[in-house]
A and B are shown apart, each in its own frame.
Chain A
Amino acid sequence: MESVPSINQLGAQQAEREKQQTRRNLAITAAMSLFAFIWLIPIAWTLSLSFRPEDSITANLTLLLPVPFTAENYDFVFSSSRIPRWFLNSLIVASLRTFLQLMVCSLAAYSFARVRFPFRQTVFYFVLIGLMVPGQATFIPVYLLFSNLKLLNSFPALIVPGIASPFAVFLLVQFFKGIPIELEEAARLDGASRIGVYWRIFLPLSTPVLTALAIFTFLGTWNEYLWPLVAATDPEVMTITIGLTNLTATTYTANYGETMAAAWTAGLPIVGFFFVFQKRIISGIQISSGIK
């Protein structure tokens, strides 16, 4: 009988366990906070640099807070550099490519998922091959093509090659196949055309996956490196990711404040974009990896 604990003892054990749990949670949170702080130092420090006058930076390099504060570095970036122009170029290129990719790929995906035509499966496999083709296997011939067309250093060169994405088609086909066939049949009986079904049923029902795809394409285009490096060498059409390489990262003697103001003029909007869409970005990654 001794081994059976009384109700009081049980209550005490429970309380003890909860206390332990709370202590453990506190320890975890403290450890994570420290780790997260270290993780953020590169961002906090360089962001602070961008708001500090150069003589103060030389005097005290590692300061994480911008005191004394100045916006001069940003004034310089906006008034006497090409960065606003490159920023606009990136915005145009990334937006247009994202829009065109969603249109072209969702239309094809609808056809692969729902319309019957000869060799449909064969053509689909042919498209899936594209999932396994890395960019540097194709960029020399594509470069020659645009060079022959005299279209290097143009927006079409930066936008068009990325429109047909096998990954987008693959992802959308999977999603479209899950849309109940009854919805489509009912609409067809009411006289809706194929294009009407695609536009008024499939696209609206796919908003979550289309949004995730749009975010990834936009970010991917904004951050693209290899292709715009060869396709846009004229500073007037450069994207900001390529334009910033002109500030050569390895020139350590350059003005720290101005360089970092340039970097964060490019980086901060993307960080803001991330905070607005972070739920969709995170779930989008987990869904498209097929793990969840």
Chain B
Amino acid sequence: MAAIRKAGFRLSKIERQEALVGVVFILPFLILYVIFNFLPILQGFWISLHNWDVIGTNVRFVGLRNYEILFSKDKLFWSSLEHTLFFALLAGPGLIVTGLALALMLNQRVRGIGIFRTIFYMPNILSVTVVGLVFARVFAPGERGFVNAVLSSIGLEPIAWFLDEANAMPTIAITKVWWSVGFNMLIFLAGLQEISQSLYDAAKVDGGGRWSLFRHITLPGLRRPMLFVIVLQLIASVQVFPLIDVLTGGGPAGSTRPLVMYLFERSFDYWQLGYGSAIAFVMFVFLFSISIIQLWFFSRGEGN
């Protein structure tokens, strides 16, 4: 029976009704999904094969020419890629180490510890513009910023945080850690609570010190949350844009301009939508690959 059904899709009346209901139920979702998530990827690639200079007019097919220029001649593309990686290198480890440290401190049976969890997580829900407006003042140059005012009150020179090419990206990374480390903390906390206390008790009987407990029980026990956080961080870092846009606008002198900002400028300041789409497609391929590797990794872990 099943074989026949499978071969010819010959469904009984009831099955046909059931199938109809099933399809009708997914239809609203599926239509929106195809229009706004799926087709735009293909369209994006199609647009990237053109010189699409002004909206709807002056469209010319150029094949892979945009990609050729992008990879071989475009210095701004490479420099914005560099800035993106620099941001990932600064913010990534900062977010992971700080998140883990906070989680370890908060994973104690002390009364009122929930308040701290709330405090460290709270910045995460603020919108990027609020964070931007706040930290532009916290790290304002001269005597107008909070940190500089504190520095000068203890006799130190003020620092040009966002206005100095050498300091701008690290200051952005510090802001990023303040803003979103709470999320990592929650993930690590959940992971820590999954590690059985009996493992620690057994190791203590064997005379394990604090560091050895951390090294041999806590860290291996956090393998899954660690991987989860690293991959998420990597994906988020490659897409970094809003925070930098509100803090420095890519400056000073373009020294913090990330990839997405470059894509945005090409597309909506210069209206080179074909070229912008090529950048977008390169990013898509990269991020999609990371996701596939992650999926493969996690599903393999599940099998064990």
Contact = CB atoms under 8 A, between A and B. Distances in A.
Interface of A: 25, 28-29, 31-32, 35-36, 39-43, 45-46, 49, 61-62, 104-105, 107-108, 110-112, 115-118, 120, 123, 126-127, 129-142, 144-145, 147-148, 160-161, 163-164, 166, 169, 194, 198, 219, 222-223, 225-226, 229-230, 240-242, 244-245, 247, 249-250, 252, 256, 259-260, 262-264, 266-267, 270-271, 273-275, 278, 281-282, 285-286, 289-292
Interface stretch (B84-92, B134-142, B207-215): B134-142
Contact of B129 (A126, A194, A263, A275): A263
Given A225-B128, A286-B187, A292-B193, A117 B9 contact: no
B287 A134 contact: yes
B284 A160 contact: no
Given A42-B135, A62-B146, A62-B149, 6 more contacts: A36-B120, A107-B29, A108-B25, A137-B280, A147-B55, A198-B25
A225 B276 contact: no
A222 B280 contact: no
A140 B280 contact: yes
B25 A111 contact: yes
Nearest to B287: A134
Interface of B: 9, 11, 15, 18-23, 25-26, 28-30, 32-33, 35-41, 43-44, 47, 55-56, 105-106, 108, 110, 112-113, 115-123, 125-130, 132-138, 140-146, 149-150, 153, 162, 178, 183, 186-187, 189-191, 193-194, 224-225, 228, 235, 239, 241-242, 245-249, 251, 260, 263-264, 267-268, 273, 276-277, 280-281, 283-284, 287-288, 291-292, 295
Main secondary structure of the interface of B (DSSP, over half): helix
B32 to A, nearest CB: 4
Contacts of B248: 250
B273 A144 contact: yes
11 contacts: A32-B116, A39-B119, A46-B138, A107-B29, A141-B44, A223-B128, A242-B129, A249-B136, A289-B187, A291-B187, A292-B194
Contacts of A25: 108, 110
A281 to B, nearest CB: 7
B117 to A, nearest CB: 7
B179 to A, nearest CB: 10
Contact of B44 (A107, A137, A223): A137
A230 to B, nearest CB: 6
A226 B169 CA distance: 20
A31 B235 CA distance: 33
A140 B29 contact: no
Contact of B190 (A28, A136, A256, A289): A289
Contacts of B120: 36, 39
B26 A111 contact: yes
A241 B187 contact: no
A118 B41 contact: no
Nearest to A131: B291
Highest count of chain A CB atoms <10 Å: which of B127, B153, B288: B127
Listed from nearest, the 8 A-B pairs whose CB atoms lie closest are: A117-B22, A111-B25, A115-B22, A108-B29, A137-B284, A164-B32, A138-B40, A132-B291
